[in-house]
């Protein structure tokens, strides 16, 4: 096993209302801490077009993070949604660097909205609002801290996720009002909640491309760290 510490790029959020000159890039520390514990070196990726390829060439792996906003439905449905909360500059950058990672077969981990971005990039669609689209389903926007698990998920036994966590089920947090639907190859669903909501996907066309709807960086379940361990090990090459 190589002892090299792989460089992991992490996509940040940005202030929603700040002007460009005052805007901050923001990444919760627990994303970085999870990468460091797993043996990687985290770096925060600025939104940039000029020089993106040079930036990408520094990376051994990519984490696409979540955030309190929606992917523009025009991207996957071709429909305007006035009620959607959008961050177009962030989404544009994340799609571009995600496509580079997939083209180069770089290990990718998508978390929450990052999983949804993997999904729409590879042909899936998104439920706009789970309480509306599945009113009899679980409550997926927990009120308790995200360090506390909220509901179980069932894990497919022949999956990349299972090989990492070594368990047919997990207790996970839940902080989302949207979810993937109409998942098509090369993606496959590898974990679901009890109400059928897609909780994890992976790509059969890539060496390591995994998305979780929950936030494993909070480590509410002891198995969460194994997801980062598997990802960083794949990035180590």
Question: What residues are annotated to the active site?
Answer: 112, 215, 217
User: Is the distance from CB of 190 to CB of 160 less than 8 angstroms?
Assistant: yes
To the nearest 10 degrees (0 to 180), the angle between helices 29-37 and 224-236 is 70
Which tokens hold the place of 194?
């009890």
Question: Could you give the CA distance from residue 65 to residue 84 in angstroms, rounded to a whole number?
Answer: 19
Q: 54 exposed, middle or buried (CB, 10 Å; 0-12, 13-18, 19+)?
A: exposed
What DSSP line would sit under 51-74, residue for residue? THHHHHTT-SEEEE---SSB--TH
Rg for the chain (alpha carbons), in Å? 17
DSSP 206: S
Q: Return the structure tokens found at 222.
A: 């002891």
Distance separating alpha carbons of residues 26 and 179, to the nearest angstrom: 23
Cα Dmax for the chain: 51
The kind and range of the H/E element at 89 are helix 88-103
């Amino acid at each position: 096993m190589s002892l090299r510490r792989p460089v992991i790029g992490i996509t940040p959020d940005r202030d929603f209302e700040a002007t460009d000159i005052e805007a901050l890039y923001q990444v919760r520390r627990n994303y970085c801490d999870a990468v460091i514990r797993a043996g990687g070196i985290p770096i925060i990726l600025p939104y940039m077009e000029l020089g993106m390829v040079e930036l990408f060439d520094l990376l051994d792996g990519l984490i696409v993070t979540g955030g309190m906003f929606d992917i523009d439905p025009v991207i996957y449905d071709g429909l305007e949604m006035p009620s959607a909360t959008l961050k177009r500059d962030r989404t544009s950058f994340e799609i571009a660097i995600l496509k580079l990672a997939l083209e180069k077969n770089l290990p990718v981990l998508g978390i929450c909205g990052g999983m949804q971005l993997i999904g729409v990039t590879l042909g899936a669609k998104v439920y706009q609002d789970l309480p509306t689209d599945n009113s009899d389903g679980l409550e997926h926007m927990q009120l308790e801290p995200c360090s506390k698990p909220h509901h179980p998920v069932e894990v497919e036994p022949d999956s990349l996720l299972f090989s990492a966590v070594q368990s047919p089920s997990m207790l996970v947090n839940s902080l989302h009002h949207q979810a993937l639907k109409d998942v098509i190859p090369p993606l496959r669903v590898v974990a679901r909640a009890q109400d059928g909501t897609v909780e994890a996907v992976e790509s059969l066309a890539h060496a390591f491309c995994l998305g979780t709807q929950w936030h494993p960086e909070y480590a509410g379940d002891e198995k969460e760290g194994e997801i980062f361990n598997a990802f960083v090990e794949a990035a180590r090459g």
